[in-house]
Amino acid sequence: MKTATNKPDYVLFDRTTRAFIYNMQTKAVQRMLDFDYASKREIPSVAAIINPTGSDSYSKFFFGPQEILLPVYKSMQTAAEKCPDADVMINFASFRSAADATLEALQLPQIRTVVIIAEGVPERKMKEVIARAKELNKVIIGPATIGGIVAGAFKIGNTGGTIENILESKLHRPGSVGCVSNSGGLSNETYNIIARNTDGLYEGIAIGGDRFPGTTLVDHLLRFEKNPAIKMLVALGEVGGNDEYEIVKALQEKKITKPLVIWVTGTCAKAFKTEVQFGHAGAKADLEMETADAKNKALREAGAYVPDSFDDYDKLINEVYTGLVKEGVIIPAPEPEIPKIPVDYDTALKSKMIRKPANFVSSISDDRGEECLYGNKTISQVVREGLGIGGTISLLWFKRLMPQYALKFIEMCLIITADHGPAVSGAHNCIVATRAGKDLVSSLVSGLLTIGPRFGGAIDGAAQMISEAYDTNTPPAQFVAEMKKKGVNIQGIGHRVKSTHNPDLRVTLIKEYAQQNFKETPLLNYALEVEKITTTKRDNLILNVDGCIGVCFADLLRNEMTKEEADEYIRMGALNGLFVLGRSIGLIGHHLDQKRLKQGLYRHPWDDIAFLNE
């Protein structure tokens, strides 16, 4: 008998079978695709993913060494329309929604088989699903199943485990044995046993451990009986229920004629004083006939090959197989070459099989562990130890945790440079950009781009100039004279408003803190000597905020690291970073202020002051 898909009714899956995966199960999908590649399938067995909580899109997977895109559909109906060749749905829905999703799938004319992975589907709902499937002449595998496999043709989800286990169990090519069991875990173990004692598995199905499976052990054994490619049957039953007696009946009525090796697990139950509920919902004997011993006895009497214990299961399978080979019923095929499956990068890296140079190198932070590291400290440690912004900057900028006095000085610099009123160029640009309707980042950048030697960016320049003069033992007077002769302004010296008669209190704060807390301040001392000379020429040629921060920070760095390393940080622009970071705080404030004032619809009382000062 042929079905509408031109497959015999005993064939649920073959090398052309295509399936829908219900719910986003990326690992299961990738395992199916790896099996496809190992089996030398021409097209992937997964047609599409149905993700009811997502949206229509694509998801990347590997098919051998190549990346492919699999469609993801929100609607089952859309998936069916787009992929008419798919006739299987592997249902990874939760136990709450698995039945409803299955009923919806059964309504699609193209779907012949639904596999329900979830365990604990409500029994009333499962009975409804089974009845509907029988009405429509469709097949249910599960619930509480790992699925099944047709060796070298089609694999359901995670059946058979990893690709390494697939190849070890010879599931990438067909053998002659049909296998069915209740347990998914034991089915994988049985496939391994079959691989070592026969020419391998042809098809294996785990019907699932819930009390009401969609198909039974005998349903699949009867399918295997019809399949001429299957020469030998292997099964595992379990304590509880009456399903194995259906096999007994089929053997007695000669509906099963192929040799069947079967063992019913749970014979240890008699060692307990009370009835034992094993792992599956149906694995409990309520009557004597439901015990494993009674079932094994009945199967043996009906003509099945039943070992004395599970320990002899593999030996009996080998014995029956060897007999079929001697009779010529099974002619073992030459073993094909074992395919090589590319290893995923993450897997190979964890296994230390490969090494790869980093695209980006960072020596200040690391996010590969459970928590990001700042230097050698986790973020939790930075917070719990109260290292603050100063400690964070110390770790990320200078790759070390400096003493507390240094951390406090860093934070002082940020506070002092945070804002200098709306009249300065950076604040002015930020305000104008905000009123022009720009977003926060654009407005902030507009203000930051004005920072330079003339507008608040002389910290590095001042540190470099003063350091070079000090290091070359140039007397302050000579230094001032040389700069005048070259026509070069001394960075960090001079103020538009402040003077010796109207000192900048910010400079006073920085200078006093450094003098009281730093180990030594040779560069600051040198800058103050320069200031004495420049202020004799004009009283506003004072050491300004940029200059004071620059020379003090250069002193600080030289106190906590080598001179060469400190000079390198200054050349890299680290000190101006303090100004950029501090000024960002103020610029963001100006942006938010202007937003509150509705981008200029209400005139700010500071406007006149700002433009007058400019």
Q: What is the pLDDT of residue 277?
A: 46
Listing DSSP states for 448-495 in one string gives HTT-BTTTB--HHHHHHHHHHHHHTT--HHHHHHHHHHHT---TTB--
DSSP 337: P
The gap between the terminal CA atoms of the chain, to the nearest Å, is 94
pLDDT in tens, 417-469: 998 888 788 888 999 998 888 999 999 999 998 876 665 557 888 999 999 99
Residues catalogued as catalytic: 280
Q: How far is CA 498 from the centre of its chain?
A: 57
pTM recorded for the entire structure = 0.67
pLDDT in tens, 177-221: 999 999 888 899 999 999 999 999 999 999 998 889 999 999 999
pLDDT in tens, 26-41: 999 999 999 999 999 9
What domains can be seen in the chain, in order of their start residue? 1-143 (3.40.50.720), 145-333 (3.40.50.261), 345-387 (no CATH), 418-607 (1.10.230.10)
Q: Is the pLDDT of residue 272 over 80?
A: no
Give the strand order in the sheet containing 365-366. Answer: 365-366, 373-374, 377-378
Q: What is the pLDDT of residue 184?
A: 81
Q: What is the pLDDT of residue 4?
A: 44
Give the pair of three-digit tokens for residue 137: 């002449």
Q: What is the pLDDT of residue 48?
A: 98
Neighbours of 312 (CB within 10 A): 13
Mean of the pLDDT values across residues 256-274? 78
Q: Are 234 and 201 in contact (CB under 8 A)?
A: no
Mean of the pLDDT values across residues 264-280? 60
Tell me the pLDDT of the chain averaged across its residues.
Answer: 90
pLDDT in tens, 120-137: 999 999 999 999 999 999
Residue percentage of the chain with pLDDT more than 70: 92
Question: Helices 505-517 and 545-560: crossing angle, nearest 10°?
Answer: 20
Q: Is the pLDDT of residue 284 over 70?
A: no
Q: What is the rounded distance in angstroms from the CA atom of residue 159 to the CA atom of residue 161?
A: 6
Q: What is the pLDDT of residue 611?
A: 44
Mean of the pLDDT values across residues 459-487? 94
Q: Return the higher-pLDDT residue of 338 and 84.
A: 84
Closest CA to 251 of 242, 240, 238, 260: 260
pLDDT in tens, 558-571: 999 999 999 999 99
Q: Is the pLDDT of residue 274 over 60?
A: no
Antiparallel, parallel or unpaired: β 147-150 and 154-155 = antiparallel
Antiparallel, parallel or unpaired: β 154-155 and 232-238 = unpaired
For residue 351, CA distances in Å to 29, 32, 348 come to: 22, 22, 5
| Residue at token pair 């619930």 | 143
Give the pair of three-digit tokens for residue 60: 């990347």
Question: Helices 459-471 and 522-534: crossing angle, nearest 10°?
Answer: 100
Residue 41: partners with Cβ closer than 8 Å, 6 or more residues away: 15, 153
Q: What is the rounded distance in angstroms from the CA atom of residue 41 to the CA atom of residue 34?
A: 10
Least confident of 140-144, 374-378, 473-477, 577-581: 577-581
Q: Return the higher-pLDDT residue of 345 and 155.
A: 155
DSSP 2: B
pLDDT in tens, 591-601: 998 888 864 54
Amino acid making up residue 518: F
Q: How far is CA 589 from the centre of its chain?
A: 37
Q: Is the pLDDT of residue 72 over 80?
A: yes
Antiparallel, parallel or unpaired: β 373-374 and 377-378 = antiparallel
Q: Are 276 and 284 in contact (CB under 8 A)?
A: yes
Q: What is the pLDDT of residue 185?
A: 82
The three-state secondary structure class of 290 is helix
Q: Return the higher-pLDDT residue of 384 and 603.
A: 384
Q: What is the pLDDT of residue 280?
A: 46
Q: What is the pLDDT of residue 537?
A: 92
Residue 61's H or E segment, with its range, is strand 57-63
Mean of the pLDDT values across residues 383-405? 95
Maximum alpha-carbon separation in the chain = 121
Question: Helices 404-417 and 388-398: crossing angle, nearest 10°?
Answer: 100
Q: What is the pLDDT of residue 598?
A: 63
Q: What is the pLDDT of residue 344?
A: 81
DSSP 336: P
Q: Is the pLDDT of residue 482 over 80?
A: yes
For residue 447, CA distances in Å to 108, 588, 602 come to: 61, 10, 22
Q: What is the pLDDT of residue 614?
A: 42
Q: What is the pLDDT of residue 173?
A: 96
Residue 147: partners with Cβ closer than 8 Å, 6 or more residues away: 90, 115, 117, 141, 155, 156, 157, 158, 159, 184, 205, 206
